[in-house]
Structure 1
């Protein structure tokens, strides 16, 4: 009897192992098939190689410099349209994003004072990392660079029916699309236009607010069952358009942790914070933001360390001028 029981138990274990192996093979096959399907939709993109001497913090939190780039074929160098620092805490399963206003007037290491987004133009993500460290004592280990075409394709791969967004007003100036007010589903091109719009009283502050709104909407779609199923195709679609120093293994580990913990919300902070800046105009630079670096440095570290505080942006006094 004991031998029969052992044989039956062994048989069940073998059957279970066979089923698990079959599931794994099927999952790998699905991933590869969908990844290749995504790659087939992407165009060949010539990418510039960047050095990035990122520094890992002691708390095991993952810090990534996220850069949205307006890559234009008629220009030798790309310009960064958005600057964000994203932090993921695998221990807490929390996600945070700091939006850095691109018109902040600061000293670029090795150069004179410019708007902060000029650091990318002059020296790529590494010089921008050095500038952010000097200004705010931020240690950023990784960078991820994506151009507008890649963003559009990623959105369309993730949500073929569009991402639901409440458009607050009519938008059309300099964004390549025309949007009407109301709750609607936006495709990749429309969502990009919505995130880039700034021709109103809020100017760049409004654009940053909408970018943060888009990030949370994309997070909800990405972490839905539908989004997780489409993840392999999304990775394949995005791969040619994203430049990053994140290795495949590191990226998969982060994605696995995010999928398990599923942060309810991406917490956001806009820099400069309320009552910490003035609008100024400098010759050869144009309209810029003079900020209180100590006050903003304190707000950033308070935000990243989880302390409460008022991190709202200031009054809607920024000029509507296209900077």
Structure 2
């Protein structure tokens, strides 16, 4: 037991030790309590009896602060300090803190809380502002898009198309005809036959071009692939559906949607979305075995009044407007023939998709896109365009995998049922190739 126990009680001495050890951190009340205990100890040392009543010796300054708290009289003993709390478990101590706490703890616990609350509230307001801005942009784009759609008085009706889902992504058949003004759809053939695979697990856009002179079986007869569209149009305007069936029966590939591209509208859209043009590295094969630095390409669509019959396109990187881009994509008079044209069509479509990844281009051209959609026969739903379109552009930024069927030189020259030159290919080989690409 402490040697001072005959002067102060045990818990008084403990309290005195605590206050002396923390003398530099005491508040006013604790300082006065320390003075009181020292004074009490001195009195008891002077008068000798630990049970002697000290009320007559207590200074007035201490009576006011400690009399009620530190004097509890009973028949046997007058205690000078309250009992120390019993030892509690950790949970109890946390739930009910002790009476005397260090003055350092309170400001540390209270000061950070309002700062965190203000920071969190500011972050929430910032997120709300960003979401509101995005919503306004989407609304503005939607308004411009539908404004463009409504500006077209006569909208073409999509043909019957029995699309089939694929296991990996969505396959979209893109058709472009070589029709001229005044010709009916039954007189035209498809200048472009492509299948676009989007939203697949590889997060890449895949583009397969089928050469139009490929020999295929249609109801037991051998036709060129592009003839399928003409036969379908002559049979109650089911050209796109007939091409879909030809691809399925010969290459075992399923297609969900189709879109018929109008090249004149395509050129107008390019000029709207890309005022400075589309960057293209123009390349041509040899012509009559000679390397060329420029080519005179036909301007046979006559998009401008009194337009010249030919346009000169230089070899190399350049910016092309809509008309030049269209003429470049349709050229087939170099030594690669239709294979070269197919390659250039893939190049043009890839360039448009990758360079359109800037959202501002979509915003500035949303009205033009609305016009294009209104003038384009297609079964692609508008919900697909809005929900899947941004993801398609992001996938295009990862790269576009391009395949041509058949590959250059991988065919045998043959004739269709009309006696026209055609390309005979190994169907099993290309069925396997499409399966490896994930398009089946």
User: Which TM bucket (shorter chain)?
Assistant: 0.7 to 0.9
Residue 210 in structure 1 maps to residue 344 in structure 2: yes
Q: What is the RMSD of the two structures over their aligned residues, measured on CA atoms? A: 3.0
Q: Distance in 2 between matches of 1:297 and 1:79?
A: 24
Q: Distance in 2 between matches of 1:46 and 1:79?
A: 22
Q: Distance in 1 between matches of 2:193 and 2:375?
A: 17
* Aligned-pair CA distance for 1:303: 3.0
Bigger radius of gyration, 1 or 2? 2
Match for residue 245 of structure 2? 130
Match of 2:173 among 56, 59, 65: 65
SS of equivalent residue, structure 2 residue 295: coil
Q: Distance in 2 between matches of 1:292 and 1:141?
A: 25
Residue 156 in structure 1 maps to residue 271 in structure 2: yes
Q: Distance in 1 between matches of 2:121 and 2:408?
A: 67
Deviations 1:54-85 (A, max 9, x none): 111233x1111111123433112143110001
Gaps of 5+ in 2: 1-109, 233-238, 284-293, 302-309
Q: More displaced, 226-235 or 271-280?
A: 226-235
Label 1:13 to 1:173 Cα distance change in 2 as closer, same or farther (>3 A). Answer: closer
* Aligned-pair CA distance for 1:53: 0.8
Gaps of 5+ in 1: 307-323
Residue 179 in structure 1 maps to residue 332 in structure 2: no
Q: Distance in 1 between matches of 2:331 and 2:118?
A: 67
User: Which structure features the higher share of strand residues?
Assistant: 1
Q: Distance in 2 between matches of 1:239 and 1:305?
A: 25
Match for residue 323 of structure 2? 189
* Aligned-pair CA distance for 1:300: 2.2
Match for residue 257 of structure 1? 391
Residue 96 in structure 1 maps to residue 96 in structure 2: no
Match of 2:193 among 62, 83, 92: 83
Contact (CA 8 Å) 1:175, 1:196: kept in 2 or not?
A: no
Label 1:53 to 1:166 Cα distance change in 2 as closer, same or farther (>3 A). Answer: same
Q: Distance in 2 between matches of 1:13 and 1:174?
A: 57
Deviations 1:16-42 (A, max 9, x none): 5863574255224421443256458x7
Q: Which has the higher contact order (CA 8 A, sep 6+)?
A: 1
Q: Distance in 1 between matches of 2:277 and 2:231?
A: 36
TM-score of the superposed pair, with normalisation by structure 1:
0.81
Contact (CA 8 Å) 1:157, 1:233: kept in 2 or not?
A: no
Residue 239 in structure 1 maps to residue 396 in structure 2: no
TM-score of the superposed pair, with normalisation by structure 2:
0.61
Q: Distance in 1 between matches of 2:434 and 2:128?
A: 51
* Aligned-pair CA distance for 1:47: 2.2
Q: Distance in 2 between matches of 1:248 and 1:65?
A: 16
Match for residue 316 of structure 1? none
